[in-house]
Structure formats: C-alpha cells, structure tokens
Structure 1
Amino acid sequence: MAIRSSEQYRAGLRDGRRVVYRGQRVKDVLEEPELRLAVEHSALCYDLAETRPDLAVDVEGGEKFSAFYHVPRSVEDLTRRGSLIEACAAAGSGTIVLKEVGSDALFALLRATEGEGAEKARAYFDRVRSQDLALAVAQTDVKGDRALPPHRQADPDLYLHVVDEDAESITVRGAKVHTSFSANADEIVVLPTRAMGSEDRDYAVSFAVPVDTPGLTLYVSPYSAGERDSFEFPVSSRHKLLESLTVFDDVRVPRERVFLDRVPELAGPLAIAFVDYHRFTAVNYKLPLLDALVGAAHLIAELNGISRAGHVREKLTSLIAYAETVRGLGQLAALRSRPGDRGVQQPDPLAVNMAKYAFAHGFHDAVAKVMDLAGGLLVTGPGGEDWANPDVRPVLEKYFTAAGPAEERLRVLNLIADLTARDFGGYQAVLATHAEGSLEAEKMQIARSYDPAEAIAYARRLARLDD
C-alpha cells in the first residue's frame, strides 16, 4: 500500500480515537459534520496523487510513493517539494492540507537524531512512507509560566515529560497545544518544543503513537464552528482545519517508537531542524493565499469601477510586490539549500526565515489594503438566504450592480470577507502572527543565520581601517 486512496484514508480514521468537540465525546469523526469537513479538506492531499502525479507521486525501485515523503537530497528536490506544497494548498483554497507538516517532522528526525534514535527514526520513516500514513505533529507545550524552564513549573505536566519506564516502553504525561490535524491524522509525532538543560532531562523526548493510543485525548478547538452558506462563505464552507489541546494521560510508548529518550543536548537541534522544514512549508503553502488576495483585489477594483485611480494602482502594485517577495525568498531558500546531517537537504535558514518574516510582517497591511479596495459591504452586505430568495434577489441585483453585475460583485466581496473579515479571516490573521513560529522567533533565526564577517571586512576596507 505505497499510495492510499482518499477513501482508504477516510476509512483509517474509524479507530475509536478519543476526540472531544464542543464539550462532547465524538465517537466517529466522519459522522460529525464539522469534523467531516476537515477530513474532506485533508483528503485532498491523497487525491493529488491522481490529479497531479507529476508532483505528488515518487517512484523508487519500481514502487510508487507519496512525493511528500521524498527525502530531499538536492536543490532540485527542495524546489519540487515547494511546488508540491503550493499545488496542494491551491487545491485547498490557500490553506495547508495534511501531509506537509508530518513530513517536515520526519525529515527533522532523519537529520537530528543519533544512535539508536536515528535507527528507529529511519525505520519509522520507512513504515510511514510504505503505508502512506498521515501524521500530525505535537511540538508546542502548554508551557505554563513562560519565565520558567520545564523542571521549575509549579505543575510538572505543563511540559510533556517521561514519568515511568520499563524494558519495553516509556510512559509520558502532559499536553501539547496547537496540534493541527490531530483528530484527522493516523498518528501523532511528538517533538521537543525548545532547547533544554540537564535538569530538563525528562522533558527531552520525541516519539510517535497512533491517534487511538490509550490515554491520548484530543480536545478540538470549536473556532469557526457552525454551518456555513456557500454564497457567504465560499472558502470556509468547504475547507477547515482542526486544532487541538492534545493530552497525554500516562500514555505508554513502545521503545521502538521513541526517537529521543531524555537526551537534553539533542532537544534544541531537533526542534530547530523541524523549524527549518516547517517554515519552508509555511512559505510555500501561504503563496496561494497571497495570490487569492492579489486576484480578489484586482477583481473588486474592476467591479467597483475604481481600477484606474492612482491610489488603487498603488495598492495593487504593493500587493503584487508583497506576494512576489515572499515567493522569491521561498525559492531562494531552496536555491541556497545545502546538504545537512545524513545528506538530508537543509533549506537555507537565513532565506527561509526572511521569507516567513516577510509574509508575517506584511500580512495585516496586505489585508487592510484589500479591505480598503472592497469597501464596507464586506460586513453590511446581504447573505446567502437573501440571495436564494426569488423575491429578494431582484432587489439585490438592482442595487448592488456597479461597474460589473451584482452577482459577480457580491461573490467577490464574500470571498474577500471570508479571507479577511470573518472568523476564517481572523484565523488566518492569527496564523500569520504565530503559526510556524512568531515574528520574534523568525528575527532571532535571521540574526543567528547571518554571518556578518564578510560585510564587516568589506566595510573596514572601505573605511581604510586596515591600511
């Protein structure tokens, strides 16, 4: 089963996993409509093997595998991966789909583990690839008091940690948060959230478990809950991500699934290795969202009859420059990539963090420009029930016609509202600020990745300091 169909993926989710949604235990994620929507969204990455085999299918030794699990070994490999992620996000209307994050974690494990941990990571990678599994990644601990390291927290469970062991397993307790796809993935990979000292030894742990493992409970966020009319919500009525508080209540992990077992000196390198790939993924999956903002801005300017105004052209040009800057820096991260540990190609840390910072730093200003071009109808316009009513629709068609017909104008306005002004837009705004690392985290990595020695030497020569 080197490549699963989307139907096989859906069937694999019926395993008795413990999911809590809106205060209630969900027995079957496929039977809960709002969770089913997220499943359908994630199934797109399996459908991509049929619709875009040129990008999504990898052939090795006569067998076909999902290209998401192609270990990058060259600039070309990373460039192809970027194109695959962008194509997948485009199918998801500008939203990340499923396999991207889990494969980021696998590459980090292959690069940053050592000894028996590295052997187990390679065996796990082979299993995931051969069975075409979908992985969620649990990295961010709930953290408690941010001023204190893990071992000094008032409650030791505020960081995930080892509480027991025997010859066959370790037992862990604690919680992770912001776990995307957890309720609709096959397995969860746990990574350290930060660098750790010797006193944090019990917290320096990495492993993978099936989602239905006893003691594992997923408390799924209700954000963007509720039924949605496709006229009002053209994107979020069809696409949804699930995020969870992921609680490990004395979860027993077989040792063959443990990649890092209380080795604090490797916690930081493993966390950073994941960040390298995850921010590269982030930049590429954000590109369709930026293209959607640019395209919608052009459409609404035309439909509102303002496209020739000087200030409008300036805003459109600014949006183009923003989107293409992010795209160019993402491509640069692949072009400047270099072989990392064990031959796994590493995206250039400087370029990839610059790309992610450029995206996050400019996103809210870009949204403001698109809102400005659209106007107040983003929040005062009619709804889907109005448009569907044959008595009301003629009134709307009469009074909302502008430089283009009312239906086109209202549909573009609703696209913009969904992406910017409504709860899905708020979700994207928070993701821009915090997902894949904060602005401050990206700035720190930019500073760490840049070696100023050559620039300083050049400035010294120009200043004749060494004459």
Structure 2
Amino acid sequence: MGLMTQEQYVESLRDGRVIYWDGDKITDPPAHPNFRVPIEVAKGDYDYDNPEKRGIITYETEDGELAHRVFQVPRTEEDLQARIKLAHNMSMVGGVTGVYMALLQIKDQVAELNPQYAENIENLYRYARANDLRGAEVITDAKGDRSRKAHEQDDPDLFLRIVERNNEGIVVRGAKFHISAGSLVHELVVMPTKGMRQDEADYAVSFSIPVNAPGVKMINRSFAPAELNEFDYPASSHHSCPEAMVIFDDVLVPWGRVFLAGESRLATVFARSLGLWERTMGLVAAAESAQMLVGLAQLVVEMQGKERDIGAQNTIAELVCYAEMIKMGLDYACKHYETTPNGMIHPNILAVNAAKYYYAANYHAMMRNIHDLGGGLVLTLPMEADLRHPEAGAYLRKYMHTKPDVDVEDRMRVYNMIRDYTADAYGGWHQVTTLQAGGGLIAQRIMMNQLFDMEGAKAKARRAAGIRPKH
C-alpha cells in the first residue's frame, strides 16, 4: 500500500472498531465530535506533502521503498539522532508506534526460544511498515489484588490470559488499562505487564491484533472536553488524545500474530523492552516541555516587573537547571548508545532510566516553582468571554495592567497557558503521566539498581578506604 494520505488515514478509522466514550457507542469515529481534536493531531503524522517535514518523517527502506521513519531500525548514531528529531515532530499516535522497536530489540532472544515467534515479529513489523499502520503499546493489566499473583485473583481475567489454544491460534480474555491513542491506531501490540512464573504461564502472552478484531472493545477517556476555547485552553484545545481501557472478550489471535504464548521465562524480557523506548520518547517530550516552562516563567516575571528580583531569578535558575539536566541526560544516553547482537542500536538503558527518574521525581517541585512565580492568577484569571465583554473587558484591561509595554491580552494568554498546561485539563493529565508513563518511579529504581556497575563502585570505595583484597 505504501504511505497513506491524511484522508486515507481518517478513512482507515472507519473499520468497524468498537468504542465507548462518554456513554456513547461510537461507530464512526471521524464523525464524532470527541474525535475532532485527536484525529487532527494524529493526521500530522501523515503530513507527507509538507516539504519541511517529509525528510524528517520518512526514510528509504532496505527495499528502496519510502516509509515513515518511526519504522526505521537505528543502525548508526545518525539513525538514532534522526529518530530523536522525529520525536519532536510526531504525535502520541506515532510515539506509541515505537512499540515495534521494542519487539525488534528482543527478537534474537525470542528466536532462541521459538524461531516462529521471532519470524512473526519480523513479519508484523514489515506488514505495519508497508501499509503505514500505527500500533499501540498495550501492556498494563487490571491487576486486581496486588498482593496476589495473576492466577490467584478472585477473577482469573484480571490479568490478560490465554483461555484456549487450538489449530487456528490462541483465544485471550482480559483487559488492558491506560492505552494512549488506542482508538486512533490500527494494531494493538500486547505484551505481559510483568515477569510471570511457571504457574502463571497462561498470562505470559504477547501478540498483535487489529483494533477491529472480533471481541476487541475500547472504553475511552480524555483529559479534555470535545470543544474548548483556544484562548482559555491553549494546550488542551490542541493536544487532546484519548486513553483507552481495552477489553479482550475471547479474542482469537492467529498463530501468525503470536509472539509469546506461555513461555513464562521471556515475559520479563518483553515487559522491559517496551520501557526503554517509551521512556526515551518521554524524555524528548520532557526536554521540550521543560524549555517551554522556563520561557513561561520568565515571561510572567518580566510582565510583573520582577525580572531583577533575586527570589524570582533563583527560582528560574532552578527551572533552567531542570531543563538542562533532562536535555543532557537524553544526549548522554544517545551518545553512549548500546548495540544488540543483530546490529540495532538503542539509547543507553541506565542513562535513560536515570534521566527519566530525575525528570519525573522533580516534576512536581518544578510545578510548585512556576505556580509560586505566577501567583493566584494562575487559577482565578477571568475567561476570554469576559475580556471581550464591553464592560467587564474594560475593567480587566484596567486592572490587569502592569507596564506600558505589556499587552493585557498577551499577559492573559501566558497565564492561561500556565494554568492549562500545569493546573487544569492538560495539566492534570501531565501531572499523572509524568510519573506513570513508562512505569512509575519504582520501575526506574529497579532498572538503575540492576544496571549500575555496583561491583566497580564497591571496588573504588574499598580502595579509597584502604581495604586491601583478601587472598
């Protein structure tokens, strides 16, 4: 099929997929108001006619075909840098499609256990690339009682599981939570949520299935209503993307689409592979976000006439340090990349986890800083409708005045961006996903403890303390 046009992408969503949202059963996503902004955002990934973006979002495959760069397997540092640049020009829909890199990264390990599974990974990756399809990362189970294992739950379906194996494939039942852009993609790429023991073998399952497969249903939620005023909601009105709870109601997965079916010792490998690429893309977004927050903070301070205030300068310095540390962590991870046996390179895993941890662990403190600089107007600023009202607007222009060179409307726009981005619709989503996307803080702590050269550190500490090796 080759590259899709934006119009073809929109039409591809009319495939019979089952979606529930705000109490509606949606049969025609492009026609539903809830999908207006999300689809507009997703269409940007198919903007191949834009000469400024075409070189960034496409590449030539080994077969000489043109494909979206999200499918390019990094083989050199330049390839990796091209992927980072792509992330700056890609929506959430494109971002989650990075799940194919996670699969390809572990393909060799899968092949050692079952060559057919590895072949399935390669085939599904090439199928998605050739048809310009997008795939969602589908990993987090309902989990039920966290003190019990998957097979010990009151309801055995609280972790996605295999309920039947037959000549055609496997039949799965269960649900997956927090699936960003799930209703905007074409393939659901499912992985185990955690490592599984032998007695949990039916829960060690991975596969890819079309969104419109019989038995697949999605229940959507978004951080923002369908229609928002752009002046009052400068972030939410342009960035809305639904999160889905995906239900697998006895879904038949053909054997050709199965990557794991009961081989419990590989479950952890699958679960961890996704974290690396998701956290890397999260760092790209974090670096951009942090830079913008510094700019908003500086604008607020200047508009208040406090640019020489030592307290304000100190607070902005903290925000600058935060932004630079994220950027440096990402740069270090890419420059000190690692290579898989099959020649695929990927960012340094320890560095990515350390940078993601720093970003997430300090995010709320940075929000405190910007709210402290902005003051109460972050929440209490009147709406655009009041600014446009002949009487109320006059009062706003009079009492929102600070300096002759500060336009009141511009000042309101800055405050609206701070509120929306950090303390309202989009901001609420950001507060939670900063911590949880790519795994919570504990996930990064575990990876850092496992990957750090602890023996080298202990040896250095012994030498410093004068402890001699015992023979």
Same fold (TM > 0.5): yes
Q: Following TM superposition, where does structure 1 have runs of at least 4 consecutive aligned residues deviating by more than 6 angstroms?
A: none
Distance in 2 separating the partners of 1:415 and 1:6:
29
Partner in structure 2 of residue 414 of structure 1: 416
Give the AA of the match of 1:62. Answer: G
Asked whether the equivalents of residues 86 and 287 of structure 1 are also in contact (C-alpha less than 8 Å), the reply is no
Q: Post-superposition shift, 1:338?
A: 1.1
Distance in 2 separating the partners of 1:407 and 1:389:
13
Asked whether the equivalents of residues 92 and 180 of structure 2 are also in contact (C-alpha less than 8 Å), the reply is no
Residues 197-212 of structure 1 mapped to structure 2, 5 A cutoff: 197-212=197-212
Partner in structure 2 of residue 76 of structure 1: 78
Residues 251-400 of structure 1 mapped to structure 2, 5 A cutoff: 251-400=251-400
Give the AA of the match of 1:101. Answer: V
Structure 1 segments unaligned to the other structure (5+ residues): 89-95
Partner in structure 1 of residue 54 of structure 2: 53
Asked whether the equivalents of residues 223 and 428 of structure 2 are also in contact (C-alpha less than 8 Å), the reply is no
Distance in 1 separating the partners of 2:6 and 2:408:
38
Asked whether the equivalents of residues 36 and 226 of structure 2 are also in contact (C-alpha less than 8 Å), the reply is no
Q: Which residue, out of 81, 100, 110, partners 2:104? A: 110
Distance in 1 separating the partners of 2:274 and 2:223:
26
Deviations 1:44-99 (A, max 9, x none): 222267332232111134321111110112333222212211233xxxxxxx5211
SS at match of 2:251: strand
Q: Post-superposition shift, 1:341?
A: 4.1
Question: Root-mean-square deviation (CA), in Å?
Answer: 1.5
Q: Post-superposition shift, 1:43?
A: 1.6
Distance in 2 separating the partners of 1:451 and 1:325:
22
Identical aligned residues as a percent = 34
Distance in 1 separating the partners of 2:142 and 2:151:
14
Give the AA of the match of 1:262. Answer: G
Give the AA of the match of 1:108. Answer: A
Residues 72-151 of structure 1 mapped to structure 2, 5 A cutoff: 72-88=74-90, 96-103=91-98, 105-112=99-106, 113-114=110-111, 115-151=115-151
Give the AA of the match of 1:199. Answer: D
Deviations 1:221-265 (A, max 9, x none): 143225311111011112111101110000111111111121111
174 and 341 in structure 1: CA distance in 2 versus 1, 3 angstrom threshold = farther
157 and 223 in structure 1: CA distance in 2 versus 1, 3 angstrom threshold = same
Asked whether the equivalents of residues 206 and 258 of structure 2 are also in contact (C-alpha less than 8 Å), the reply is yes
How many residue pairs end up in the alignment? 459
299 and 32 in structure 1: CA distance in 2 versus 1, 3 angstrom threshold = same
Deviations 1:116-135 (A, max 9, x none): 11101001111111111011
Distance in 1 separating the partners of 2:47 and 2:378:
33
Q: Post-superposition shift, 1:399?
A: 1.4
Distance in 2 separating the partners of 1:182 and 1:138:
8
Give the AA of the match of 2:58. Answer: V
Q: TM-score, normalised by structure 1?
A: 0.95
SS at match of 1:308: coil
Asked whether the equivalents of residues 338 and 346 of structure 2 are also in contact (C-alpha less than 8 Å), the reply is yes
Structure 2 segments unaligned to the other structure (5+ residues): none
Asked whether the equivalents of residues 75 and 338 of structure 1 are also in contact (C-alpha less than 8 Å), the reply is no
Partner in structure 2 of residue 91 of structure 1: none
Distance in 2 separating the partners of 1:253 and 1:390:
62
SS at match of 2:355: helix
Give the AA of the match of 1:204. Answer: A
Q: Post-superposition shift, 1:282?
A: 1.1
Distance in 2 separating the partners of 1:5 and 1:290:
33
Asked whether the equivalents of residues 35 and 226 of structure 2 are also in contact (C-alpha less than 8 Å), the reply is no
Distance in 1 separating the partners of 2:59 and 2:428:
36
Partner in structure 2 of residue 67 of structure 1: 69
Give the AA of the match of 2:430. Answer: Q
Distance in 2 separating the partners of 1:49 and 1:343:
32
Distance in 1 separating the partners of 2:140 and 2:381:
39
Asked whether 1:40 is paired with 2:40, we answer yes
Q: Which residue, out of 453, 456, 461, partners 1:454? A: 456
Asked whether the equivalents of residues 3 and 65 of structure 1 are also in contact (C-alpha less than 8 Å), the reply is yes
Deviations 1:291-329 (A, max 9, x none): 221111111111111111001111111101101101110
Asked whether the equivalents of residues 79 and 331 of structure 1 are also in contact (C-alpha less than 8 Å), the reply is no
Q: Post-superposition shift, 1:425?
A: 0.7
Asked whether the equivalents of residues 191 and 205 of structure 1 are also in contact (C-alpha less than 8 Å), the reply is yes
341 and 191 in structure 1: CA distance in 2 versus 1, 3 angstrom threshold = farther
Distance in 2 separating the partners of 1:226 and 1:106:
31
Q: Post-superposition shift, 1:460?
A: 2.1
Asked whether the equivalents of residues 56 and 82 of structure 2 are also in contact (C-alpha less than 8 Å), the reply is yes
Distance in 2 separating the partners of 1:462 and 1:303:
52
Q: Post-superposition shift, 1:101?
A: 1.6
Distance in 2 separating the partners of 1:230 and 1:183:
24
Distance in 1 separating the partners of 2:48 and 2:413:
27
Q: Which range is displaced more, 219-228 or 238-247?
A: 219-228
Q: Which residue, out of 418, 430, 433, partners 1:431? A: 433
Distance in 1 separating the partners of 2:373 and 2:25:
44
48 and 236 in structure 1: CA distance in 2 versus 1, 3 angstrom threshold = farther
SS at match of 1:4: coil
Residues 163-182 of structure 1 mapped to structure 2, 5 A cutoff: 163-182=163-182
Partner in structure 2 of residue 11 of structure 1: 11
